[in-house]
Chains A and B, each alone.
Chain A
Amino acid sequence: MALRDSLTRFIAERLLQDRTATIDPNESLLERGVVDSVGLLNLITFLEGETGVRIPEDAMVPEHFESVVAMEALVAQLKGA
């Protein structure tokens, strides 16, 4: 759950630029327009720094960055690999 909290905070502060924004872990961040190409690179840097995993280029597909839950699953999958 620690990742969920820090990731949600990161998205609110850095991508939405609104510390008070509410982010449902299941909602589509892509539909909401939160993740653009600059935002995606920031997210990857954040996830790698926070969890120590290396996100390969193959994993850069919309499905893995759709939502907070999807990013958690990606990290879990990469840690297990």
Chain B
Amino acid sequence: MNHLLWHRVRTHAQATPEREAVRGNGRSLTYGALWAQSGRVAAALTAAGIGRGDRVGIVLPKSNECVVAMLGVLRAGAAYVPVDPRAPAARQAYVLGNAQVGGVIAAPGILEGLAAHRDGWMPRVAITHGPGAAPTWLGDALRGPMDALPDASGLDDANGAHEHDPAYLLYTSGSTGHPKGVVLSHRNAITFVDWGIESFGIGPDDVLSNHAPHHFDLSVFDIYCALHTGAVVSLVPDRLAPFPTQLAEWIEKEGITVWYSVPSALVRLLKQGKLERFRFPALRTLCFAGEVFPVKYLREVMACFPSSEFHNLFGPTETNVCTWYQVPRPLPESMLELPIGAVCRNQAAVVLRDDGQAAGVGEEGELLIAGGTVMLGYWGLPERTAAVRVQNPLHADYADPCHRTGDRVRIQPDGSFIFLGRRDHMIKTRGYRVELGEVEAALLSHPAVREAGVVALPDEDVGAKLYAAVSPEEGMTVTHEELVPYLLEKLARYAVPERTLVLADLPVTSTGKLDRTGVRDRILASLPTA
């Protein structure tokens, strides 16, 4: 049976245990070692009573052990919750508490930092990895360190899990001021992974890069398309990722055959990576997703990788990838905007006009997606889930649930789509989703802030940059410099505005609502003209 996300890893571990599976920070893990180590994690979790219906947080710097931990959690029958190890402790604690994780696998320093923010949350089991003394607040829950867990060759993997059980929860920006958990099942992941393997012909000779952080859904492609085919996933070392010249050398030296990242990572490689030093003969396929790739830069990047295919992958975390477009070579001069392509195999798309009718060629509307990749829901948010999970509006013959993506598209004559924008106030910066409402809620929680408005202005390098306008409470003052450290405790770093304009009053519409267009105009007027 191959219905759970770890099944095919077992197949490769049994058939070719000596082959390399994961490579990270100069160390290599074979399929056999990956299987043995993840079994120990699974056994330690099982012994602590963690199994089907539970969740386990993973808060580790990117490393081979992250992959071991993910598989260990899955083999115990539970779902994992990858948490950004660089996020503020308060945000990490919020996610772990919101997901009600029964276990956590984390670096000792991170566990220590959670103590002040845990708000009564207490894991049943905590496995440590990395240097540092284990924090005392965990008491009897403490196990590990991870590489010293007892042998588990007798582990029974039959834990009752089925393919519609949650496999992982990915937290994304939420408009109410807190991140929300997207619950994805084994079936969701396998549907996507199977599509990736078939579409890009991934096999045992491939070396897939893993550039995205593990709390970001791009990493699902890298890790599982590799581990399901006997290929290698090579994790971009955290210490090299910020440095484009080193990153370019790494791609060449590692013999990466399939690269997947946000466009802004490729733009940085283009601008600062000195790519002309290399030919990248092994790199056959580059995929990008997460934000719009400006065609001007895509042309230049394609020139640097003359023998590689390029693919534009599109979709929200709730459906992983749902449409894709193979970029033609050469890219036609007339192409000004890159299509997001047609719907992926094993999914279906409906484009709904504003009047509720199906859109035809040349018309625009909201993209709805049905099929195996559509998430189980938002964790603990049935109303939010119901708002985006709708019966296919074109018929009532049988249950045909669709996910409302909130993305507006136009249908082209060949059936592919052009992305036009969002229905709501979600924006992308560096490929990360940010709800402007979450940033505004964080600003409003500051004692000196009376009103807050946030807008995103287009930026060639990172997609969009955030700018805020606030008004102070009566008799108080506030500055950008005071707000930044405060916001950094509440928001991911990329969600903190670049600048904050302080006004006596913010512009409002005739109905008294925040006038975002007015805010935008005031901010634009305040910026230095370059």
Contact = CB atoms under 8 A, between A and B. Distances in A.
Interface of A: 13-14, 17-19, 28, 30-31, 33-40, 57, 60-62, 65
B160 interface: no
Given A13-B485, A19-B485, A61 B61 contact: no
Contacts of A17: 88-89, 485, 488-489
Interface residues of B, number: 25
A47 B248 CA distance: 25
Contacts of A38: 430, 493-494
A14 B496 CA distance: 11
A39 B242 contact: yes
17 contacts: A17-B88, A17-B489, A18-B113, A19-B485, A36-B86, A36-B241, A36-B242, A37-B241, A38-B430, A38-B494, A40-B243, A60-B243, A60-B244, A61-B245, A62-B239, A62-B240, A62-B246
Contacts of B484: 14
A33 B213 CA distance: 12
Nearest to B237: A30
Contact of B85 (A28, A33, A62): A33
B238 interface: yes
Given A33-B238, A36-B86, A61 B272 contact: no
A57 to B, nearest CB: 5
A60 B245 CA distance: 8
B485 A33 contact: no
What 8 A-B pairs are tightest by C-beta distance, nearest first? A30-B239, A40-B242, A37-B242, A17-B488, A17-B88, A33-B61, A13-B485, A57-B272
B489 A37 contact: no
B480 interface: no
Interface of B: 61, 85-86, 88-89, 113, 238-246, 265, 268, 272, 430, 484-485, 488-489, 493-494
A31 B89 CA distance: 19
A31 B239 contact: yes
A61 B243 contact: yes
Contacts of A14: 484-485, 488
Q: Secondary structure at chain A's binding surface: helix, strand, loop or mixed?
A: loop
Given A33-B61, A61-B246, 20 more contacts: A13-B485, A13-B488, A14-B484, A17-B88, A17-B89, A17-B485, A17-B488, A19-B485, A28-B239, A30-B239, A37-B265, A37-B430, A39-B493, A40-B242, A40-B243, A60-B245, A60-B272, A62-B239, A62-B243, A65-B242
A33 B268 CA distance: 20
A43 to B, nearest CB: 9
Contacts of B86: 33-34, 36
Nearest to A13: B485
A17 B268 CA distance: 25
Nearest to B484: A14
> Which of B241, B268, B430 has most A Cβ within 10 Å?
B241
B461 to A, nearest CB: 9
A1 B16 CA distance: 56
A17 B89 CA distance: 9
A39 B242 CA distance: 8
Nearest to B268: A37
Contact of B238 (A19, A30, A57): A30
Contacts of A13: 485, 488
Contacts of A39: 242, 493
A36 B243 contact: no
A17 B480 CA distance: 16
A61 B239 CA distance: 10
A18 B113 CA distance: 10
A17 B485 CA distance: 7
